[in-house]
Structure 1
Amino acid sequence: MRVDGTAGSATPKRVTKRRIQTRERLLDAALLVFADEGFGRSTVEQVCERAGYTRGAFYSNFASLDELFLAMWEQRSAQMLIDVREADVATRAKQQGPVTLEAMTAALLEAIPVDDRWYRITAEFTAHALRNPSLKRVMAARENAILATILPLVEAGLAGVGRRATDPQALGRALVAVHDGTTVQCLMEPESDTVRRARTNLFVSVLRNYSEEV
């Protein structure tokens, strides 16, 4: 499976404004199709119909639905990192005194929203990837890359409240596990303030237990 966006061509295609717009429309259409139909039941034809393009337009940008999903995931991950950075700045700007661990955690969670549609899509794609060894390796590598990018932001946030991670890698894995588990709980009970508070408290506990005062 190719994941470099060249759709099997030996010569990289020139990136034009029109090409960028086409990719964006295909990505937007795929998000709707995957959410409505489920990844396993979605087809290239459905994505093309929703986007208003031909199969040729699709295959000039993506080699497969797998590659399209990975591009979508990368796009959303990049935006999440931007949101996390901005959340940290916003928290510091709003605080009159020292930033607390609780305030930092709340700001970070606001930057990583619980999205029912996106969770369903990623859960289905993860199940699909587990049946495909090469795709599973790609997913694992990208998850590790995202974690490596997020961890410095978390460590900077901890430093802002006078703490440091005792084991950054373990902290990162624990945060991912808590995020995944509590996301399901929040989606099952979307109106429950108790579940939301428990989610925040769990994140605070993990950050505190995997860090120490400096």
Structure 2
Amino acid sequence: MTPDASEDFRRRQPKGDKRDRTRAKLLEAARTLIREKGHEHTTLEDIAERAGMTTGAIYGNFKNRDELFISLGQTYWPPIKPQVKPGANFAAIMRAMADATIAAIPDRSAVAVGRLTGLAYTLAHEEMRAQVREITAQSYAFGEQWLRAVTKEEELPMPAGQLVRVIHALIEGLVFQRLLTPDLVPDEVFRAAFGALAKKADHE
């Protein structure tokens, strides 16, 4: 591609693509700096400089440093998304949840330290905790709607609103324990844990 053609190609790229690339570059710069300096000592100016951008680029994508940090968690520690076939019963949904959690372990392993340091930073900052609480509440509400859409309420071992919280805690706990002591938490433990929820539902 000639220089002129390359420039024309860039001009014709959708603006959304450029925005996504800018956000990705800023997030990766932030991630690298946090590894080097920690959350407390990573400033927006540092992030902009590392990304080769201005602080204006940051404020064009994030309201403040906390929002950028939250976006890091959402980007590098995304939610588990099971593949559920239409008409699946609750036991099948739980098997799919276990499989999706197991499949996510390699990607989560690569970013687990960053996740834990991010959680520690959040626990120490009240405003950040408030934002995370709001995002988590929205996630639970979405999960509750999803559960009601893919299965019948009477099949659930507990109210859907409680169940999404239990599943979330189960996923996070199992994943971190697997990363810490892999030989003690094999795949069978994941499947047994989610299977136990399905058995509880069957017994009620």
Q: TM-score, normalised by structure 2?
A: 0.69
Alignment pair present for 1:138 and 2:131: yes
Q: How far apart in 1 are the matches of 2:36 and 2:115?
A: 13
Alignment counterpart, residue 186 of structure 2, candidates 189, 192, 195: 195
Q: Please state how far the C-alpha of 1:158 moved relative to its aligned partner.
A: 4.5
User: Is the 1:164–1:213 contact (alpha carbons within 8 Å) kept by the matching residues of 2?
Assistant: no
Paired position in structure 1 for 2:26: 26
1:207/1:124 CA distance change after superposition, 3 Å: farther
Alignment pair present for 1:128 and 2:124: no
Correspondences of 1:75-86 after superposition (within 5 Å): 75=75, 80=79, 84=81
Q: How far apart in 2 are the matches of 1:113 and 1:152?
A: 26
Amino acid paired to 1:179: I
Alignment pair present for 1:169 and 2:161: yes
User: Is the 2:94–2:195 contact (alpha carbons within 8 Å) kept by the matching residues of 1?
Assistant: yes
Which stretch shows the higher mean deviation, 128-137 or 51-60? 51-60
Unaligned runs of 5+ in 2: 1-13
Q: Please state how far the C-alpha of 1:187 moved relative to its aligned partner.
A: 0.9
Q: Please state how far the C-alpha of 1:37 moved relative to its aligned partner.
A: 4.4
User: Is the 2:157–2:197 contact (alpha carbons within 8 Å) kept by the matching residues of 1?
Assistant: no
Q: How far apart in 2 are the matches of 1:71 and 1:188?
A: 25
Q: Number of residue pairs matched? A: 187
Specify the structure having the higher radius of gyration (Cα).
Answer: 2
Q: Aligned Cα RMSD in Å? A: 3.6
Correspondences of 1:63-212 after superposition (within 5 Å): 63-75=63-75, 80=79, 84=81, 87-89=83-85, 100=92, 103-110=95-102, 112-113=104-105, 115-159=108-152, 163-190=155-182, 192=183, 194-209=185-200, 211-212=201-202
Q: How far apart in 2 are the matches of 1:64 and 1:123?
A: 21
Q: Please state how far the C-alpha of 1:136 moved relative to its aligned partner.
A: 1.4
Amino acid paired to 1:88: V
Identity of aligned residues (%): 20
User: Is the 1:27–1:72 contact (alpha carbons within 8 Å) kept by the matching residues of 2?
Assistant: yes
Paired position in structure 2 for 1:53: 53
User: Is the 2:48–2:58 contact (alpha carbons within 8 Å) kept by the matching residues of 1?
Assistant: yes
Q: Please state how far the C-alpha of 1:131 moved relative to its aligned partner.
A: 2.5
Q: Could you say which structure has the higher helix fraction?
A: 2
User: Is the 2:98–2:191 contact (alpha carbons within 8 Å) kept by the matching residues of 1?
Assistant: yes
Q: How far apart in 1 are the matches of 2:54 and 2:131?
A: 28
Amino acid paired to 2:169: A
User: Is the 2:95–2:195 contact (alpha carbons within 8 Å) kept by the matching residues of 1?
Assistant: no
Over residues 138-175 of structure 1, what are the superposed CA-to-partner deviations in whole Å (9 max), with x where a residue is unaligned? Answer: 1111111112112333445555xx93343112212211
